[in-house]
Amino acid sequence: MTTMTMATVTAVPPAPARGAGASIRHGARASRPGASAPAAMRLTRRGRAVFASLGVALALAVGAVAGVAVAATDGDAMVTQVHTVSAGESLWSIAAGHTQPGQDVRETISMLTELNDLASVDLMAGQQLQVPAP
């Protein structure tokens, strides 16, 4: 007499492949068909520092441009004329001729050096300066 045994076979899905492009992360969620994966971005400490530095640089650039725009829109427009320096003339004598009564000549000298981008108060005969028009 022969005995026959019956075995039950259950289909097991294959294990995910490990290799080129396939990796299993701890805590990773399985994607569902038709569901979009959340776009999460994780930055390292260095990445956060770079991102913050770029933000600060952008803020400084915007502030600098805005500061120039504000400075350029000041309502203190000045009408000027060209003055050619004669031999023996100094910045003091030129400034004294363009200083209003009661105003300090040193303030006018400071204004003239800024207006003409002068590195010093030394002048040469024939040099042309922008001075306030009378």
**Residue 41 counted as domain residue:** no
pLDDT of residue 12: 65
Q: How far apart are CA 48 and CA 41, in angstroms?
A: 11
pLDDT at 14 over 80: no
Q: How far apart are CA 79 and CA 112, in angstroms?
A: 13
Least trusted range by pLDDT, from 28-37, 82-91, 99-108, 118-127: 28-37
| Domain ranges, residue 100 | 80-132
Whole-prediction pTM: 0.43
68 and 84 fall within a common domain:
no
59 and 84 fall within a common domain:
no
3-state helix, strand and coil shares in percent for the chain, rounded to the nearest 5: 35, 10, 55
95 and 117 fall within a common domain:
yes
| pLDDT bucket at 34, cuts 50 / 70 / 90 | low
Task: Write out the E strands in the chain.
Answer: 80-84, 128-132
pLDDT at 24 over 80: no
Q: How many domains does the chain have?
A: 2
61 and 101 fall within a common domain:
no
CATH number, residue 118: 3.10.350.10
